[in-house]
Amino acid sequence: MNDQSQQSRLPSCSVVVCAYTENRWEAIVESVASVLAQTSPPQEVVVVVDHNPALLERCRAELPGVVVVPNVNETGLAGARNAGIAHCSGAVVAFLDDDARAEPDWLARLLVHYDDADVLGVGGAIVPDWRGSPRPAQLPAEFDWVVGCTYVGLPARASRVRNVIGANMSLRRCVFDAVGGFAARLGRVGSRPAGCEETELCIRALARMQRGHFVYEPAARVHHRVGPERRTWAYFRSRCFAEGRSKAVVAGLVGAGAGLSTERDYVRQVLPRGVLTGVRDCGHGDVWGLARAGWIVAGLTCTSAGYVAGTVTAGRQRQRPSTIAPLVTRPAAAQRSATVDRAAS
């Protein structure tokens, strides 16, 4: 990945990091520093602050070498990402969570796949960082998506996938130009455990750009902090329920066929194997194996309940005209001017 001729062929890339609370300040600093230290440096790093003036000013004062902008859209991660995209000028836009740290070759391993003109986006592996604590013994690896990480069931090598995962993803800038931004009706707002806005956008892009595809590259790794508040049964249950509701909205927007294609295989193949593995582990002396099997069953039940609860909302939204508008992009010169003005103030 360090060959100079290969590096010169990589497309230009902007990286967006969205932040919303000063409680994550240490993580935000680490996240931005990991992007600035890439072996293939990005063209620019855009930090978007989601409706938090104090954090906005702190980021502008204490994060040199980046562009800091406010989220001028709806509160939430989808709106913040859209605000970031509007300030990006790279041919590829990559996204990193504000509580994730990228490995030094992260961008290079993502960008190399863009040699294929049909690749619309590339995502990578998200490794849980338990902050020095042991992994919760009862948490099945099949449900690591609950804590925003790569889960059992994803490919072990670079492969085509339906969608990338938000904490570690990149997309061509032209995808947003063609299909618009992330749907504000989906996704996380503050600490509310919701998601799927990247799933819906990828499905929308595939429908519009039918020769294109997305790639999962497990060698492009980031490390995602998992605090103690995300290791509890209460969080697990609420996150599964919220995921089910979000999947219902996605199915309402794009149809159940596309919206649930990957999930059907996961439920039919990955989860039954996980239950059997947990029971077998228990039989081999791992007392937590049965707990993991039980959490798989409970997680599927909670997610299904959320899906049922969300179908009514999804049905209403299906009747509405799309609210996904084209992104408004600021000219590069205006971006540079704004950056200079902030530096001088």
The predicted pLDDT at position 341 comes to 34
In a domain, 249, yes or no: no
The predicted pLDDT at position 99 comes to 96
Helix and strand numbers, DSSP H then E, in the chain: 13, 9
The predicted pLDDT at position 338 comes to 39
DSSP secondary structure of 88-111: --SSEEEEEETTEEE-TTHHHHHH
85-113: b (≥16 Cβ within 10 Å) or e: bbbbbbbbbbbbbbbbbbbebbbbbbbbb
DSSP 137: T
β-strand partners of 70: 49
Interval 265-279 mean pLDDT: 96
DSSP 75: S
The predicted pLDDT at position 329 comes to 54
Residue 268 to residue 263: CA distance in whole angstroms: 9
In a domain, 251, yes or no: no
> 259 falls in which pLDDT band (50, 70, 90)?
confident
In a domain, 309, yes or no: no
Residue 81 to residue 86: CA distance in whole angstroms: 9
Residues 106-116 have pLDDT tens digits of 999 999 999 99
- The pair of structure tokens assigned to 210 is 């039918």
CA geometry: angle at 325 spanning 319 and 329, to 5°? 170
Interval 33-39 mean pLDDT: 98
> 205 falls in which pLDDT band (50, 70, 90)?
very high
CB 197 within 8 A of CB 76: no
- Higher pLDDT, residue 317 or 277: 277
In a domain, 315, yes or no: no
In a domain, 17, yes or no: yes
Domain range enclosing 140: 4-232
The predicted pLDDT at position 189 comes to 60
- Higher pLDDT, residue 191 or 95: 95
In a domain, 110, yes or no: yes
- Higher pLDDT, residue 61 or 7: 61
DSSP secondary structure of 23-48: GGHHHHHHHHHHHHT-SS--SEEEEE
Q: Look at the chain and report how many structural domains it folds into.
A: 1
Interval 279-308 mean pLDDT: 96
In a domain, 133, yes or no: yes
Would the pLDDT of 320 be above 90?
A: no
CATH of the domain at 212: 3.90.550.10
- The pair of structure tokens assigned to 127 is 């490794």
In a domain, 255, yes or no: no
